[in-house]
Chain A
């Protein structure tokens, strides 16, 4: 059952299943660094998946879908921003509203297209690297979004740790009043964090419809957005840890498909529970280890107006 080829296939499938979760986790990390809690990831991802499908279906160009998918999620995040940043609504409830709205819109707008196929991101073998035995098979015969997501983690790390923008963004998330007193335009940073994070969540959705399936069906996200929200905590808001977290989930999802394909006696309903149970598990693990000390101090709280 487990030859080296099967292992290679399994790891390759792990990366494919983990990539949308990774992209969404990285997106939510950016948003939360700015002190904004956006629980709408699940809805934004669904919206991104549909808009990406639609854009690609209409133009036959997956990059148009990529952009449109990101924008679809940005639109929902914009609503979240209006509610929370301008009208100081409760961030938890607003996020839930965005989830409900996004799932509803993607399903409502997408229903006429169910079952329609489209072009998408095909595998892009990297020259030379693809010839490395085993590793080439696993890592370097993937689609372009996989490479994009893997590059993004170090880029975000550098952004948060080494650039003025990143340091200021973190200052806003930690203590917006102090940041404001130092002359940082708090609202500007928060909007940038909210929208750019949402764009990535939308790209995560694009991955589902354009690389993972190449066909539109309702309910593509299946809780992946919520898993991403949990992974942000598991990753302690650090981009590199997000990679391991996301691939852990990718692994469980790939393994579960593999077991089903082998026709085991275990009920598929019970197997499908695994990612959700694992989410609870990793969340508790994070709590044992650090008790949330790395969360931006002002996460999810609204900023009182100047008088």
Chain B
């Protein structure tokens, strides 16, 4: 009887085949999730239709997708950067929250009447606070070898409760009839939309940051050392900067980017409130894993997963499917992709 055997491929699967694999994984994840609807007495076929139409089927859907894709994109760039150094930054969610807090504090401070100045300061505060919040677990990691997965995760809970504290307490809008939210931002603090659409001007910021990111990693010495250090720590011993410092730097940048996502979100919502916490930081982990370090792929997968989110929102609206359904899809997608990546380096062969 022929027996299956695992053999290493001579070279990795081609890029086209890899994309096909990810496409198949998406199909599998969405298909299986829809099958679950059937268990609750809802039609999977109709579910799929509502999901696809809601996520990708109209200009309204595409706008929604873009709006959600921008913060996802910033978080994912950050997570990917830390992954490159084999640092597991699971804390993008918390860093995003601190970014939102930082942007809010500046927006409400009345520090400047000039929109350009105010927004620049908001960006710096958001990124800075996000970066510092990521620096903490990075410091514990390089100094005490403390597990960064658990610490970044715990810091997410801490950040979210702190946000809650702020909007129920010191930052609460006296005119909000008791709702936990900050006052509305002044007009100068709003990024505004691209004319004729609902999509925030942050899209332009996303493109600029994407280019800077690409140039930094591929054309600067620091970026090069960062990449090399992740791939082989031994080579990194010859770099100018110690691996510990590289870890600190990459985590700061990682948190900075997640903080930017927080800025984008509050400058779009116009105020700080708990509903901005929707798990972008966790979805970013999936995107970073799928796209590795290429900014355009991160953009592409941010759009895809944002579309999934919008699709699930439509399911929620039309078929009363709980919002957690998007977690089911994302979990299944990640599992399918992990299984698929096996075939990137190995193949199965029949043994006589």
A residues with CB within 8 A of B: 39, 43, 79, 82-83, 87-90, 92-94, 96-109, 111-112, 218, 223, 226, 229-230, 233, 267, 269-270, 272-273, 276-277, 279-280, 283-284, 287-288, 291-292, 305
Question: How many residues of chain B have a CB within 8 Å of chain A?
Answer: 46
B residues with CB within 8 A of A: 6, 36, 39-40, 88, 90, 140, 144-147, 149-151, 153-155, 157-158, 161-162, 164-165, 168-169, 282, 285, 289, 321-322, 324-332, 334-335, 338-339, 341-342, 346
Q: A99-B331, A279-B154 are in contact. List 16 more A-B contacts (CB 8 A).
A: A92-B88, A93-B289, A93-B334, A94-B338, A100-B282, A100-B330, A104-B331, A105-B324, A108-B36, A112-B40, A230-B147, A267-B165, A277-B154, A277-B158, A287-B146, A291-B145
Tell me what chain A mostly uses at the interface: helix, strand, loop, or mixed: helix
Q: What's the least CB distance linking B247 to chain A, in Å?
A: 16
B324's nearest neighbour on chain A, judged by CB, is: A107
Q: Are A230 and B150 in contact (CB under 8 A)?
A: yes
Q: Are B168 and A267 in contact (CB under 8 A)?
A: yes
B169's nearest neighbour on chain A, judged by CB, is: A267
Q: What's the least CB distance linking B204 to chain A, in Å?
A: 31
Q: Are B146 and A283 in contact (CB under 8 A)?
A: yes
Known: A89-B342, A273-B157. A104 touches B328 (CB 8 A): yes
16 contacting pairs across A/B (C-beta < 8 A): A87-B339, A101-B327, A104-B324, A104-B326, A104-B331, A107-B324, A108-B325, A108-B327, A109-B40, A111-B324, A223-B153, A230-B150, A233-B150, A267-B169, A280-B155, A291-B145
Known: A107-B324, A223-B157. A102 touches B331 (CB 8 A): yes
Query: Which residues of A sit under 8 angstroms from B331, Cβ to Cβ?
Result: 43, 97-102, 104-105
Known: A93-B338, A94-B335, A107-B322. A100 touches B161 (CB 8 A): no
A101 to B328, CA, bound (A): 5
Query: Which residues of A sit under 8 angstroms from B321, Cβ to Cβ?
Result: 108
B279's nearest neighbour on chain A, judged by CB, is: A100
Query: Which residues of A sit under 8 angstroms from B327, Cβ to Cβ?
Result: 100-101, 103-104, 107-108
Query: Which residues of A sit under 8 angstroms from B153, Cβ to Cβ?
Result: 223, 226
A287 to B150, CA, bound (A): 13
Q: Are A270 and B165 in contact (CB under 8 A)?
A: yes
Known: A83-B335, A100-B334, A269-B164. A305 touches B6 (CB 8 A): yes
Known: A107-B322, A112-B40. A88 touches B342 (CB 8 A): yes
Q: Are A89 and B155 in contact (CB under 8 A)?
A: no
- Shortest Cβ-Cβ A-B pairs, 5 listed: A101-B331, A104-B327, A107-B324, A89-B338, A97-B334
Q: What's the least CB distance linking B244 to chain A, in Å?
A: 15
Q: Are B328 and A108 in contact (CB under 8 A)?
A: yes
Q: Are B145 and A292 in contact (CB under 8 A)?
A: yes
B326's nearest neighbour on chain A, judged by CB, is: A104
A105 to B35, CA, bound (A): 13
Q: What's the least CB distance linking A106 to chain B, in Å?
A: 8
A97 to B329, CA, bound (A): 10
Q: Are B341 and A272 in contact (CB under 8 A)?
A: no
A238 to B149, CA, bound (A): 21
A79 to B334, CA, bound (A): 12
Contacting residue for B341 out of A89, A101, A280, A305, CB 8 A: A89
Query: Which residues of B sit under 8 angstroms from A93, Cβ to Cβ?
Result: 285, 289, 334, 338
Q: Are A269 and B151 in contact (CB under 8 A)?
A: no
Q: Are B150 and A83 in contact (CB under 8 A)?
A: no
Which of B88, B146, B321 has the most CB atoms of chain A within a 10 A radius of its CB?
A: B146
Query: Which residues of B sit under 8 angstroms from A109, Cβ to Cβ?
Result: 39-40
A233 to B329, CA, bound (A): 31
Known: A96-B90, A230-B150, A280-B155. A273 touches B162 (CB 8 A): yes
A105 to B151, CA, bound (A): 25
Query: Which residues of B sit under 8 angstroms from A97, Cβ to Cβ?
Result: 331, 334-335, 338
Q: Are A269 and B150 in contact (CB under 8 A)?
A: no
Q: Are B154 and A226 in contact (CB under 8 A)?
A: yes
Which of B335, B341, B346 has the most CB atoms of chain A within a 10 A radius of its CB?
A: B335
A112 to B37, CA, bound (A): 13
Contacting residue for B150 out of A90, A218, A229, A305, CB 8 A: A229
B163's nearest neighbour on chain A, judged by CB, is: A269
Query: Which residues of B sit under 8 angstroms from A273, Cβ to Cβ?
Result: 157-158, 161-162
Query: Which residues of A sit under 8 angstroms from B155, Cβ to Cβ?
Result: 276, 280
Q: Are A276 and B158 in contact (CB under 8 A)?
A: yes
Query: Which residues of A sit under 8 angstroms from B154, Cβ to Cβ?
Result: 223, 226, 230, 276-277, 279-280
Q: What's the least CB distance linking A159 to chain B, in Å?
A: 26
Query: Which residues of B sit under 8 angstroms from A267, Cβ to Cβ?
Result: 165, 168-169
A96 to B331, CA, bound (A): 8
Q: Are A39 and B149 in contact (CB under 8 A)?
A: yes
A291 to B147, CA, bound (A): 10
Q: Are B165 and A283 in contact (CB under 8 A)?
A: no
